[in-house]
Structure 1
Amino acid sequence: MIFETHAHYEDEAFDEDRKELLDSLPKNNIEYVVNISSSIETVDKSIDLAKNYEYIYAAVGIHPGETAHMDEDRFSWLKDRAMHKKVVAIGEIGLDYYWDTPDRDTQKKWFARQMEMAKELSLPLVIHSRDAANDTFNMMKEAKAEELGAIIHCFGYGVEQARQYLNMGFYLGIGGVVTFTNGRKLKEVVEYAPLEQLVLETDCPYLSPVPYRGKRNSSLNLPYIAKEIARIKNIDYDTVIHITNENAKKFYFNERNINGQTRKS
């Protein structure tokens, strides 16, 4: 069974067939899905999906590109939502210097605040980091994020940056880019990284793997990612599925998250 660690099924790309697609996942060996929020608007939508499907869980957090909309009232609201019993992480949060909006100080402020919130609630982190490797790493180190655990979602840096994150005990989220012919850098990271620190993700509806690149992505495409990891590491496909599944369960379903005193219905 496959564990999908990062999806966006609340996205309008799924409006026409969301129920049909989600109902099909268990029949296609998808055991669990974590739906990741990225904005104020997607927090409740992610939690609602988790409420309606036994095998779906939620992460709540504000993407760096959406932090201009944050204030103290919204932060308090977010913390309240993060206490729901099916919320298993804070994310996706982090820094994005590719789009570089809003300003970097605003991104850093709310990244730090959300990491503080995660620590208060004993929840791990799902990290978005694009063209911001050093600042992301330094802020996570300063926040002692290793005490919480983190997945570096859609890992897009090289082996040297991967080594830093792996040495802190973090997981790397591996998605469709690993199947691209121009995904050499990520292929090198997958070859280098221990399988015990990799997890599978789609970031659907985005970043479909080959042979569906450019089309809407879904968790049904995870086998293509797993097969490429198996090829790169010269191991069998079933081993990739089993170990990445175990990794995701350790990360999301540890006793702290499931039985923590902060959980509420």
Structure 2
Amino acid sequence: MFVDSHCHLDRLKQGPEALAETLDFARTRGVEHFLCVCVSVNDYDSMLETVSNFDDVSVSCGVHPLHQDEACSFEELLEKAQREEVVAIGETGLDYFYSPESKEVQLTSFVDHIKVANETKKPLIIHTRDAREDTINLLREHKASHTKGVLHCFTESLEMAQAAIEMDFYISISGIVTFNSASELREVVKAIPLERLLIETDSPWLAPVPHRGKQNQPGYVVEVAEFIADLKGVSVQELAEATTQNFYRLFSLAGNKRVASNN
């Protein structure tokens, strides 16, 4: 069984009935759980309403580094993050590639998220691009290893991955690994231990080969798994089992929901 460890179900361009069909399709392919990731605290309640009827969907709460025009106070973030249904904090992080001009605001927001994660004892979901040194330094400085987390949709260096793993973080790989332009990333993925890998779609974006040009969806996490399994020389079943176990180990509250829905 597979898990889509990072998707944005509220951002899919489809209505409620179509979302149910999309998740059913994923389930028929062996995807057993979905983590719907928040990009704006302002949109959290509407996101939750979109997915609340699905027992196999968990949610996070946070502000994406590229959504700083929708930034919230530390107190508002903490209030929502403490809610029972929230299994993780984020996505948060730093993106100097698309928005270097908002660097200072991003840094403040990122530190707030790390502090909230430490206070709530919930793991971090981190977006990082062209900000390797600041990302790792802030995680170390604010003791993010206490809560752990994941560097999602990873496209950075092996050295950065190793630094994160030393803090007990996981590395999540999206459909980007299947792109023709991703030769360097594939070498990084080969070197990352299986016990530290997660898989994701980041849907509705970044559809993997052979679905390029289509809206991405959670069912396509299977193609990501197949590609990585071939890359690492393991069976798809072994890759699926390892990444699923890693997911529930990191996001233990999602695991609790899984147990409850099975009873």
> Do the structures match in fold with TM over 0.5?
yes
One-letter identity of the residue aligned with 2:104? D
Q: Match for 1:39: what amino acid?
A: S
Q: Distance in 2 between matches of 1:71 and 1:91?
A: 13
Which TM-score applies when normalising by structure 2? Answer: 0.91
Q: Does 1:9 align with 2:9?
A: yes
| Aligned mates of 1:37, 1:254 — CA distance in 2 | 16
Match for 1:58: what amino acid?
V
Instruction: Output the amino acid matched with 1:66.
Output: H
Q: 2:26 is aligned with what amino acid? A: L
Query: Aligned runs of 1:1-265 on 2, under 5 Å?
Result: 1-15=1-15, 17-72=18-73, 75-100=74-99, 103-253=102-252
Whole-angstrom distance in 1 between the partners of 2:23 and 2:149: 26
Q: CA deviation at 1:50?
A: 4.4
1:58-87 Cα deviation digits (max 9, x unpaired): 011001111233243xx4333222222221
- Identity among equivalent positions (%) equals 32
SS at match of 1:246: helix
1:138-186, CA deviations, whole angstroms, 9 ceiling, x for partnerless residues? 1111111111111101101121222211222211110101111111121
Distance in 2, Cα, partners of 1:26 & 1:79? 33
CA contact (8 A) 2:5 2:247 kept: yes
Q: Distance in 1 between matches of 2:46 and 2:232?
A: 37
Alignment TM-score, normalising by the size of structure 1 = 0.91
Specify the SS of the correspondent of 1:103. Answer: helix
Give yes or no for contact 1:4–1:30 (8 Å, CA) kept in 2: yes
Q: Is the 8 A contact 1:51 1:86 kept in 2?
A: no
After superposition, the C-alpha distances for 1:89-131 in whole angstroms (9 at most, x for unaligned) are: 0010011101125521111001101110111111000001011
**Counterpart of 2:260?**
none
Q: Which runs of 5+ in 1 are unaligned?
A: 260-265
- Determine the C-alpha separation between the residues in 1 that align with 2:12 and 2:56: 21
Deviations 1:207-264 (A, max 9, x none): 0100011211011111111111111111111100000000001011269x959xxxxx
Counterparts of 1:242 and 1:154, CA distance in 2: 20
Question: CA, structure 1 residues 223+23, in 2 after alignment: closer, same or farther (shift >3 Å)?
Answer: closer
Q: Aligned equivalents of 2:215 and 2:12: distance in 1?
A: 11
Q: Alignment partner of 1:202: what SS?
A: coil
CA RMSD between the two structures? 1.9
Secondary structure of 2:58's aligned partner: strand
- 1:187/1:85 CA distance change after superposition, 3 Å: same
Alignment partners' CA distance in 2, 1:214 and 1:128: 23
Does the C-alpha gap of structure 1 residues 12 and 190 become closer, same or farther in structure 2, counting only changes over 3 Å? closer
Structure 2 counterpart of 1:263:
none
In 1, the alpha carbon distance for the partners of 2:147 and 2:154 equals: 19
Question: Is the partner of 2:105 in helix, strand or coil?
Answer: helix
Distance of 2:23 and 2:250 partners within structure 1: 23
Partners of 2:79 and 2:249 in 1: CA distance: 24
Over 3 Å counting, the alpha-carbon distance change for 1:204 and 1:250 in structure 2 is same
Deviation, structure 1 residue 39: 1.2
C-alpha distance in 1 between matches for 2:72 and 2:225: 40
Alignment check: 8 A CA contact 1:157 1:185 kept: no
Task: Give the whole-Å Cα distance in 2 for the aligned partners of 1:40 and 1:86.
Answer: 14
CA, structure 1 residues 71+57, in 2 after alignment: closer, same or farther (shift >3 Å)? closer
